[in-house]
Chain A
Amino acid sequence: MMQRILRFPGFIGRQAIRPFSYGFAVLLFTLRALNPHQQGVFRLNQGSYRTLVGQLIFSGIDALPAISLLAFASGLAVTSQIILTIQLIGDRTEVIDILVRVVVFELSTLLTAILLIGRSGSAITVDLGNMKLNRELEGVEMLGINLNHFLITPRVLGAGLAQAMLAIYFAFFAIVTGVFFLAFSHDPGYFNYLPEIAASLHPYNLVIFLVKNLLFGIIIGATACYHALQVERSRTELPQQTQRAIVNSIGIVFVLNAIFVLFMQPPIL
């Protein structure tokens, strides 16, 4: 009994350190995946290029119908509501500022990330995890192929590029849908919001937006790959690692997004 009591502070300490050690492990894994000079050889060649293109098609192009639906629904529900509500209490500049902050910079990023995690992140974990279970990865290594170059880096980069492209697409589609809805249902004058919103986009904010989305996509891809490679021998590990990859990716993306908002975004007008 006494021993159990004495062990308790250690248990608390270990649990407190766990998120940080996990974050550090994923960070190292990501940096390793993005380091092109592993083993002194630079290789993003024909073999890995095909994996990258495949990942871009799966995570980016194949996700367009789903992201279009989300953007359309968000345009109707969020963009139009923000315009209608905020214009009652603020002037036009404030409406545009809030619209850009909420829909363009936050909603697009987070909804796209959630879709990418659910669709591509889980697929990457299952895909690579199965390959590891079936010892296919070992077979690839036996051929002198660096797993990072051939399987990990293209997937991580592909997820990053897909997230950036999909977020831009989402933001554009959600704003246009909302404005068009108001213009046709209320007043054609709402069309004027479109050029004004475009003019209010500061290059600094756009760069931050792009960097943020690339980073989130890379983290989603890397977390998925990291958990896939944690699968050892048992098939039961695969669903366990997949759910960990999904939950942890969502957690990391939301925390990082909050950090971006706190430290990178300009003050409210």
Chain B
Amino acid sequence: MKTASTEQSSITAVNFSPTLTQGLKSPLQLNTSPGDIICFIGSKENILDTYLRALAGLHPIAEGDLFINQEPIESISPKQWSLLRQEIAYISKEAPLLSVLSGMNNVIFPALYHGIYDRDQALLKATELFAELGYQGDSDLLPAYLEPLERLQLALARALMLKPKVLVLNNPWHSLAPYEYSVLNTFLRHWSRNKVLIVSTDSLHFVRQYATKIYFIGPNKVTYFQSWTSLIESERVEVRDFLAQLSE
């Protein structure tokens, strides 16, 4: 198992489909490499999330193989999973922070738990991340008193404190106002320069601007597109319907 911080984490899916998606005729083939921004799009949000969770090792697989750092996930021990969770961060759509901790404590507690930093170092690192993320909220407040963008930024900072190499995000834009998109997009683009970002989204703007690989999860087929151009040139009815729906 490769877990050293200098090595890149990778996810490889071969003929892969998670449970609850057995109706899909073609399974997923995916291989990550540094700098990848992989976008999952499709009309069924829960199916997209199922794929993301399965790729992050959080959801059972129905068929095919999934390798994390070249290791089949069946052979990963619970102790290794604890380390892998630091390398491959998954943030759900709600991005829930612990409601009983202030914003800052939410960000630093995983790093303290894993012994990555002591408290002073963690506070310093969190402040650096806030600057990178463009966070402008009050980090002493409880999450309930923060704006959706601020909560999302804190959830990202919390995950980034563990120095992940793969970030798996389930539609982080869903609760944001359109004018807040650019704050998030700028950061994600900057962060993923030599790391891997896997994201499910209905933000076609993000897909058009940044995606290096696009997977369209249709009602009964998974289709891979190498670029935005190949996506919009697709003749498949379900793809065209989906794009038309989002454009309306």
Contact = CB atoms under 8 A, between A and B. Distances in A.
Nearest to B84: A144
Task: Please tell me the size bucket of the interface on B.
Answer: 20 to 34
Most chain B CB neighbours (cut-off 10 Å) among A45, A48, A136, A141:
A136
Contact of B113 (A47, A136, A142): A47
Contact of A47 (B81, B84, B97, B112): B112
Given A136-B97, A138-B92, A43 B85 contact: no
A149 B82 CA distance: 12
A143 B85 contact: yes
A46 B113 contact: yes
Nearest to B162: A143
Interface stretch (A28-36, A126-134, A228-236, A245-253): A126-134
B149 interface: no
Given A46-B119, A142-B85, A143-B158, A41 B79 contact: yes
Given A135-B94, A139-B97, A143-B158, A39 B113 contact: no
Contact of B92 (A41, A127, A139): A139
B90 to A, nearest CB: 5
Contact of B114 (A50, A135, A139, A144): A144
Given A46-B119, A142-B89, A143-B162, A136 B98 contact: yes
Interface string A135-171: 1101111111110011000000000000000000000
A131 B110 contact: no
A204 to B, nearest CB: 40
A139 B82 contact: no
Interface string B95-117: 11111100000000110111100
Interface residues of A, number: 26
Nearest to A134: B96
A47 B109 contact: yes
B23 interface: no
Interface in A12-41: 39-41
Given A47-B112, A144-B114, A138 B96 contact: yes
Contacts of B14: none
Contacts of B96: 134-136, 138-139
Interface in B59-99: 78-79, 81-86, 89-92, 94-99
B58 interface: yes
B85 A39 contact: no
Contacts of A136: 96-99
Given A138-B92, A142-B89, A144-B162, A39 B112 contact: no
B159 A143 contact: yes
B98 A140 contact: yes
B58 A150 contact: no
A140 B58 CA distance: 13
21 contacts: A39-B78, A39-B79, A41-B82, A43-B113, A46-B112, A46-B115, A47-B109, A135-B92, A139-B91, A139-B97, A140-B110, A142-B58, A142-B89, A143-B158, A143-B159, A143-B162, A144-B81, A144-B83, A144-B84, A144-B162, A146-B82
Interface of A: 39-41, 43, 45-48, 50, 127, 130-131, 134-136, 138-146, 149-150
